[in-house]
Structure 1
Amino acid sequence: MIPDPLSPSLSLHAAHGLVDSLRGALAGATCPQWVGVAGDSYRSRHGEVIASVQGVLDQIQAALDLVPSFDEERNRALASALADASISQPELVMLGAW
């Protein structure tokens, strides 16, 4: 089967993988070997930064979850347009103009 170039499914799959990879990297993002003022500052803000990044990743995930419904809506609109064209201009549909 030839993939539909207008369908976002291929890049959507890659985007989901990227978000999952970022979540994994974020879970292991600690630098216990840091010492001094920089280490103290990092540790004091670590939870805040992790929470902020998790929020951004959640928003990205929510947007990615909406893409399939947009794809389905596009397919329904195309099918409706084809059905309307087959009624109003059946010769174009039979010739493959659609």
Structure 2
Amino acid sequence: MRTQITELFGLAIYTEKSVFVGEVEDVLIDVDSKKMESLVVGKLNQELVDIKNYKGLKIPFRIIRAIGDIVLIRHLPGAFKSGNFDEV
């Protein structure tokens, strides 16, 4: 997958099971290896977390499945608030 970093900002992030996670706010890059490390999520879906005023989340590059009109990530059961979004 190859794209310009600036094209990622503002893209919606969804899991493979169609759960909205948030929007790309920033991109963390490992300068030494010249690779993307993770995406920083802004406008986080507040239904995913128990912590009040929780505003950010980092999505590691290894769980990104595809980048196009949206960012598609692997669905990780149990990664968010228990009982939510694990079943479809």
Return the structure number with greater helix share: 1
After TM superposition, the score normalised by the length of structure 2 is 0.20
After TM superposition, the score normalised by the length of structure 1 is 0.19
Larger radius of gyration: 1
